Structure 1
């Protein structure tokens, strides 16, 4: 014989009930069945809510109970029934009894545990009767009230079962029952005096387990709306996978720590009898599900990651606790006497502190009873006032085989630490089947996804990007991300998603990742007004692991947001030079904050676009080398301009061409004034370990003062036409010396300068073509023949590729 249990979602309405009967029909061809059913989906919640409203003399309870009644009769109308008129009459009688109970609660303004138990029992009583009558039309089936079989104490809402009497009752009934299928209500029982009791919320699973153990069933099947137990909650961790095989102990640990597929007490009765539990999906009955037995598959060390929300941590501490016997006994006795369940326990080896985790709903009661128990010690200052922390969660790694694998705790806490998840308390039993940690409730989703990626992610790391700036560079960056998506996943084990996008007017978010084939339309049609602060707020609110803020702008206000991102453990990748060339204190602060919060701050594209200039410099410094001198052409735009400027074209036209082809900033004066080059040499000097301000850089600008004083692009370009003779004179002077014009940055002996120079033919800079950059590093190890880095130093594609490379560096961090 097998026992099948169908949960509330499985019997929610007439369509689902028909699916349940189809499953029962198929299974009954092979075995006799005891079928335990829950109330129709959410019915018990509504019954209890109505009762609470009635107690408060709120007549809204009537609309809820009428809604529940209507749903049941609509279900009856849609089901083929053995005797419809009799079913309608019996169900109507049940609802009349229920309404009488509500009326009593309303008049007396009272809702005792006994009344709650009776009211909440109606869901299962009615549903099991309706389903049994539907089953009788095609099956050799009968109905049996579980209250005739399961006997408990008088703890009405979470009754303790008298197993000896219950097993005897079950054995007698089922041994004499000749029906192929018996339908029974879950959750409900009765105490010795015949009063209704319940087995706790989720107790229908427990009911089925009791019956399975009592009759030594071949198997207990739990039919629900998911395909078994998962490696994590699939509504929170999208990559969660079904677990095919798990042990009783693993299942008990996972259910205790929040896996809602199975009610925690369910496992114990069948475990004693070594009866397998099979968890199946009512809506996908052909899927394999999860098998729970004595032993499980040993191939993986961690079987699942689970969590409990709404937890409070209560701390009892004080110098008077050290070496004092009986403290723990008194603490747990106080909690037990007040029916407070302890979820987690941890104690300092010094005996100075004991922490216990309880549900938030029990926290104030727990503090009160502990305070009363230790009032004398508190008054004598031997124990400090009891500390309570709310809005916490417990996360737990579960697996029988964890004890045979070294370093699991290290991997767990390292992964959490890298994502700035602070751990308040840790607990691990000597059996090592479970490692638990208490964290902020707000961090639970990030922690679960982080740990799942660590232990079940096939070594695939997910990066979540928040991208500001989708112009030339940003557009190419997003195109490169889309183009390389499969390559990154296959070869680098990186799953890079864009969660937020922003331009100067609109921003758009998608928690599951923005479709990069359609981002322009999504931003245009579904975007909300842009706000730098709100973009930051949304990035923080999502609280995703491995988050990265990508700045593709040249905007100073955006650069002022970096510290806020870093402080929230969100990495920053930027091509915007303003932050790193800002005041020295701000630059140093960003570096410190990045280190403190373990959030990378990468800006390779600040100098040389996609060229590995800063990365090379960092490696030199990290290896102990020292930089003495830097010579560089660092402006791809200026190099393009002076490589193409001759006496045959106007300076104005060459600058306009450079801007059109994406070589200059949106404001070309930034490039031509030398400010951009000054910022770049400043950044290189700072990365070399020297403390300079932008004002320390000597900038010998070739632009006339009138051009420098313009306030918009139109006036700037007009000034270039006005001073064409000035620019032609600069060209002629260089040409007369057989030299080329290059805008050179130099750093030596702690001083830096930038300016236009005449470069002779034998100089490394002479043949620098197009928009190329070149950097020469003279160091202790390279004093005469410097390290030389040369290549394209401007353009949307190469800058985007440099940003892309920094994002990959974050992924590899």
Structure 2
């Protein structure tokens, strides 16, 4: 297979436009305001948009986000951000959505010289053709900031790309890449049903409103695709074997019946936990790609000495095996979930783009 090509250097920055006014979008606005108050030289905020409306920033981002949220449902055939105030070359789009439609616009914006900063994994973690289009579009001068897509801003993606650019060859990467599943499995000790912890994680915002999205492993699959492609391995989603934690009865349940069906998780998780405990191991939900042995996502019982076992709470942990790190992997660990750390990662990418633009 042909390795994924690397992009060319970038062009100048301009205004910021935010897509998404949910939990992450709101955290971006709050973080932006804090940084501006500290005198951090961020580009001006032009507008924000959700699926209902596009709202210009006339001085109060809090009012703008409230207006977008309270707007009536949009009736047009095109989304508000496609119909409203247009973007210009050098502007920076922050994609704080999980929308496939928005991700589909990433190559188009980049071709037009508009920088893209994203927490949306459906760009580089979706279809391979789209991921390659995003890379190719950067040759027109725009930059793509995607550090928030894996590890909520941990320097994992950037490090892998720097290793590859420096001539290192990545053999494998394995990691605990879901903050939600890390939190669940670090808390589970068989003193209460696993389904109770799932409800607690959902209610606390650590898991999606429909926790099957986390438990299925699909989110980890997308993150693993992003890491593999950054390493130069052009995997498709079908190349990764995913072992879901969701039993068939829960998978088939309608949304309004999910809560009642969560108890289907309890028996199989307890059996796996007891078996791991008896063997001095700990359950971790791991994604791994290996240039020689393929890629997989699923629950594993790891010995207590394993480098992926040491984290707590929502920590993400990843081990990189390469020519340089062959005997002992390079391990990165840190908070891997939460709107605040994701927002910080997004605005860190904005600042990097703005600095390069100013220097250019």
Question: Is it true that 1:485 corresponds to 2:32 in the alignment?
Answer: no
1:666, CA displacement in angstroms? 4.4
Partner SS state of residue 727, structure 1: helix
- Closer, same or farther: CA 732–790 of 1 in aligned 2, 3 Å: same
Question: Is it true that 1:745 corresponds to 2:287 in the alignment?
Answer: yes
Q: Using the alignment, how far apart are the partners of 1:530 and 1:617 within structure 2?
A: 43
Query: Which of 107, 122, 126 is residue 563 of structure 1 equivalent to?
Result: 107
Query: Which of 696, 706, 728 is residue 270 of structure 2 equivalent to?
Result: 728
1:592, CA displacement in angstroms? 0.6
Partner SS state of residue 151, structure 2: coil
Query: Which of 63, 68, 71 is residue 518 of structure 1 equivalent to?
Result: 63
- Structure 2: runs of 5 or more not aligned: 1-9
Q: Using the alignment, how far apart are the partners of 2:23 and 2:225 within structure 1?
A: 25
Map residues 140-179 of structure 1 onto 2, 5 A cutoff: none
Q: Using the alignment, how far apart are the partners of 2:36 and 2:319 within structure 1?
A: 35
Contact 1:485 1:496 in 2 (8 A): no
RMSD of aligned Cα (Å): 2.3
Partner SS state of residue 38, structure 2: helix
Contact 2:178 2:219 in 1 (8 A): yes
Query: Which of 156, 166, 178 is residue 613 of structure 1 equivalent to?
Result: 156
Contact 2:243 2:297 in 1 (8 A): yes
| CA offset digits 1:626-651 (Å, max 9, x no partner) | 10111211111101011112322222
Query: Which of 3, 11, 34 is residue 418 of structure 1 equivalent to?
Result: 11
Partner SS state of residue 174, structure 2: strand
Q: Using the alignment, how far apart are the partners of 1:647 and 1:673 within structure 2?
A: 21
Question: Is it true that 1:599 corresponds to 2:142 in the alignment?
Answer: yes
Map residues 334-353 of structure 1 onto 2, 5 A cutoff: none
Q: Using the alignment, how far apart are the partners of 2:68 and 2:313 within structure 1?
A: 35
Contact 2:124 2:226 in 1 (8 A): yes
- Closer, same or farther: CA 615–723 of 1 in aligned 2, 3 Å: closer
1:726, CA displacement in angstroms? 2.5
Partner SS state of residue 246, structure 2: coil
Q: Using the alignment, how far apart are the partners of 2:84 and 2:219 within structure 1?
A: 32
Query: Which of 37, 43, 46 is residue 499 of structure 1 equivalent to?
Result: 46
Contact 1:508 1:526 in 2 (8 A): no
Contact 1:499 1:514 in 2 (8 A): no
Q: Using the alignment, how far apart are the partners of 2:68 and 2:133 within structure 1?
A: 34
Q: Using the alignment, how far apart are the partners of 1:692 and 1:796 within structure 2?
A: 28
Partner SS state of residue 418, structure 1: coil
Partner SS state of residue 42, structure 2: strand
| CA offset digits 1:666-705 (Å, max 9, x no partner) | 4422211111111111111111001110110011223212
- Closer, same or farther: CA 687–764 of 1 in aligned 2, 3 Å: same
Contact 1:608 1:634 in 2 (8 A): yes
- Closer, same or farther: CA 664–525 of 1 in aligned 2, 3 Å: closer
Partner SS state of residue 97, structure 2: coil
Q: Using the alignment, how far apart are the partners of 2:71 and 2:218 within structure 1?
A: 38
Q: Using the alignment, how far apart are the partners of 1:710 and 1:550 within structure 2?
A: 35
Query: Which of 251, 260, 270 is residue 718 of structure 1 equivalent to?
Result: 260
Map residues 2-401 of structure 1 onto 2, 5 A cutoff: none
Q: Using the alignment, how far apart are the partners of 1:666 and 1:599 within structure 2?
A: 35
Q: Using the alignment, how far apart are the partners of 1:516 and 1:668 within structure 2?
A: 31
Contact 1:507 1:530 in 2 (8 A): no
Question: Is it true that 1:635 corresponds to 2:178 in the alignment?
Answer: yes
Contact 1:641 1:654 in 2 (8 A): yes
Question: Is it true that 1:812 corresponds to 2:358 in the alignment?
Answer: no
| CA offset digits 1:146-169 (Å, max 9, x no partner) | xxxxxxxxxxxxxxxxxxxxxxxx
Structure 1 counterpart of 2:19: 468
Count residues with an aligned counterpart. Answer: 345
| CA offset digits 1:286-327 (Å, max 9, x no partner) | xxxxxxxxxxxxxxxxxxxxxxxxxxxxxxxxxxxxxxxxxx
Partner SS state of residue 791, structure 1: strand
Contact 1:464 1:499 in 2 (8 A): yes
Q: Using the alignment, how far apart are the partners of 2:189 and 2:51 within structure 1?
A: 37
Contact 1:662 1:796 in 2 (8 A): no
- Structure 1: runs of 5 or more not aligned: 1-416, 420-461
Larger Rg: 1
Structure 1 counterpart of 2:168: 625
Structure 2 counterpart of 1:573: 117
Structure 1 counterpart of 2:337: 794
Contact 2:163 2:169 in 1 (8 A): yes
